[in-house]
Amino acid sequence: MRVAAGDLVFDVEVSGPDDGDPVLLLHGFPQNRHAWDRVVPALNAAGLRTIAPDQRGYSDGARPLGADSYALPLLAGDALGILDALGIESAHVVGHDWGSAVAWHLAARHPERVRTLTAVSFPHLEAYWYALRHDPEQRRLSQYLAYFVSPESTAGLLADGAAQLRSLFGDAVDPVQVRHYLDLHTRPGVLDATLNWYRSGSLLAEHEGLGPVTVPTTYIWSDGDLAASRTAVDRTALHVTGPYRFVLLPSITHWQPEQAPERVTAEILRRVNQRQEV
């Protein structure tokens, strides 16, 4: 379905019982709402109503020009606008990769709209920023950012049949799903728009003063994930004052929703059904 939020129109997959507790699923780069395809059926079967949007830049009706249009507060505002349009006062929020950055922002700045938070892959932004300053491993892992923000990255990622873009997934994601993501990002203007999430500078600009997360939170990270160092991962707990659970997925890469959907789903359900940690 299409959902209008402000001046933008988002493609949103809504499924599950109408009276189920709402779960907002926020994807990362370079995916779209289909990153959750192996998670949604089990959440719906558990009685939850899922809302999975193609976020700003990924939806045809929500692709403004310019990196400034992709600052993190605007991305979080999109999520709130989608909830408002659907008449949802608050939701369980789940994010992966960039979707996690949006989810952390929502939970810190708009806790009244977030029942619980399940963040997958990416740590709290203040923990990430600390690691960038103090941890050589995080600086090494984050070297890709310089390429993504460069003007030549669009052409480079799309060259030779999008070979670089395809290589990001390795063997961790089903080829059919990878083909779906590539079909999206090889359309004119799409990759430039989705790379604007990086080019906006939000990963670095929005950490200061983000503040603690007070809502019940689960943070899922895997030891094969190259987005965050263990320093950033471990320091995330310092920025959550609500009930907190850390989950380590061994031998899993960065693509947790596609590669380990059963475990991700189980942890979402655990957080949704148990707001207070045992």
The predicted pLDDT at position 276 comes to 41
Cut 0.75: pTM above it: yes
Task: Name residues whose C-beta falls within 8 Å of residue 154's C-beta, 6 or more positions apart in sequence.
Answer: 191, 192, 195
Contact present, 107 and 213 (Cβ < 8 Å): yes
Give the residue-averaged pLDDT of 258-265.
98
Q: Is 198 a catalytic residue?
A: yes
Are 238 and 211 a contacting pair, CB within 8 Å? no
Q: What is the mean pLDDT of the chain?
A: 95
Give residue 53's pLDDT band: very low, low, confident or very high (50, 70, 90). Answer: very high
Q: How confident is the model at residue 277 (pLDDT cuts 50, 70, 90)?
A: very low
Helix axis angle, 125-134 relative to 98-109, nearest 10°?
Answer: 120
Query: Around Cβ 18, how many Cβ atoms within 10 Å?
Result: 6
pLDDT for 209: 75
Task: For residue range 197-253, list pLDDT tens digits in order.
Answer: 999 988 776 666 788 999 999 999 999 999 999 999 999 999 999 999 999 999 999
Q: Which residue has the tokens 């289909």?
A: 34
Provide, rounded to the nearest whole percent, the portion of the chain with pLDDT above 70.
97
Catalytic member of 27, 185, 239, 254: 254
pLDDT tens track for 5-36? 999 999 999 999 999 999 999 999 999 999 99
**Peptide bond preceding 22 in cis form (omega within 30 of 0):** no
pLDDT of residue 275: 60
Percent of the chain with pLDDT over 90: 94
Is the pLDDT at 164 greater than 50, yes or no?
A: yes
- The residue-averaged pLDDT of 250-272 equals 98
Annotated catalytic residue 128: no
Tell me whether residue 244 is one of the annotated catalytic residues.
no
Please give the pLDDT value at position 207: 61
The C-alpha angle with vertex 271 and arms to 205 and 226, in degrees rounded to 5, equals 45
Task: Specify the amino acid at residue 71.
Answer: A
Catalytic choice (21, 78, 97, 225): 97
Neighbours of 83 (CB within 10 A): 24
Question: Would you state the pLDDT for residue 150?
Answer: 95
Give residue for tokens 């997925």. 249
Residue ranges and CATH numbers for the domains of the chain are 2-273 (3.40.50.1820)
pLDDT in tens, 62-83: 999 999 999 999 999 999 999 9
Residue among 42, 33, 24 at smallest CA distance from 260? 42
As a whole number, mean pLDDT of residues 177-203 equals 95
Look-up: residue for tokens 């491993």? 137
196-227 burial code (b ≥16 CB/10 A, e <16): bbbbbbbbeebbeebeebebbbbbbbbebbeb
Residue with the bigger pLDDT between 195 and 205: it is: 195
198, 207, 219, 225: which one is catalytic?
Answer: 198
- 132, 142 in Cβ contact below 8 A? yes
pLDDT score at 127 = 95
CA–CA distance, 220 with 248 (Å, rounded to integer): 6
| Mean pLDDT computed over 95-114 | 97
